[in-house]
Amino acid sequence: MVKIRATFPAPIKINYPGITEIFSSGEIPELEQYGLKEPEPISGYLELVGGEDAGLRRIQSYFWDRDLLKTYKETRNGLLGFDYSSKLSAWLAVGCLSPRLIYEEVKRYEKERKKNDSTYWLVFELIWRDYFRFICKKHGEKVFDIAGIKNQTESWRRDSSDFQRWSDGETGVPFVDANMRELNSTGFMSNRGRQNVASFLVNDLGIDWTWGASYFESKLVDYDVCSNWGNWMYVGGVGNDPRENRYFNILRQGKNYDKNGNYVRAWIPELAAIKGFDIHQPQEMPGSKLKELKIQLGSTYPHSMVQMEKWA
């Protein structure tokens, strides 16, 4: 219901001060100087390269070359691969692309190709992004407070051992573990995965939601302070949500979004021999079948931290 201000045109030239040389570039330090190693590329994932040029190439590929925007709403809850969603969040997060530029490109697409629920939905996601920015501007440091913006005091657990199992992807709940392992390996996790692992940490383990928010902050390649903390407040029940006590049934979510278990199979190779949806609940399989597949719960894969029967 508002008018979106136009992007500024790219400058044709930049007027530097009348100095021959502004600065000396020096040497770019190597990763080894910081005790870091080059990350190994993950098969099947697009290598995220920083900069505006790379972000614009992604828009060109996703919107125009591959014409994937028209089905965004139907595919956005995907889990495997790179093209089930726009994947523009990393470039947005560090300012390589502006939300106005993406908005304008969507509007151009609607004029030249197609206007439908998918084009509306991508703009809707940009509005959510703005919304959390306004929430942070309004409430300031309260978004980092365990009581959130509702000043709601809860009794949270602070069990380092249980938190470590969650962060390492060793909870014994395959759908949760697969998402956490993807995050740890790539710095990325789908929107659907983020909601599920957050709900599991907060609602099933009862662990301090700020621990989860801080862990995401340390890992996400598309980390955005407002979106991250705003969403975690929401999961923790201390943020903006008209529906109280939002809770995810992990098995039902797995059935809806990974019915054949391909996503879990991709990230938990120790369970890959299990066919179909059974991979989501190995503890329900006969011991003889698991033995035949060389799977030993508690050894090759951990026992579940929670009673999964509640999701049946």
Among all residues, which ones are annotated catalytic? 125, 128, 156, 191, 209, 232
Angle at 130 between CA 126 and CA 95, to 5 degrees: 75
Q: Convert 8-66 into a string of H (helix), E (strand) and C (coil).
A: CCCCCCCCCCCCCCCCCCCCCCCHHHHCCCCCCCCCCCCCCCCCHHHHHHHHHHHHHHC
Q: What is the CB neighbour count within 10 angstroms for residue 277?
A: 15
String of DSSP letters for 200-228: IIIIIS-B-HHHHHHHHHHH-TT--HHHH
Q: What is the CB neighbour count within 10 angstroms for residue 251?
A: 20
CB 254 within 8 A of CB 271: no
Which H helix or E strand runs over 74?
helix 72-75
Q: Is 5 exposed, middle or buried (0-12, 13-18, 19+ CB in 10 A)?
A: exposed
Of 205, 195, 202, 255, residue with least CA distance to 231? 195
Beta-ladder partners of 157: 207
CA–CA gap between residue 161 and residue 9 (Å, rounded): 52
Question: What spatial distance separates the first Cα and last Cα of the chain, rounded to whole Å?
Answer: 43
Q: In whole angstroms, what separates CA 69 from the centre of its chain?
A: 19
Structure token digits, residue 127: 């509005």
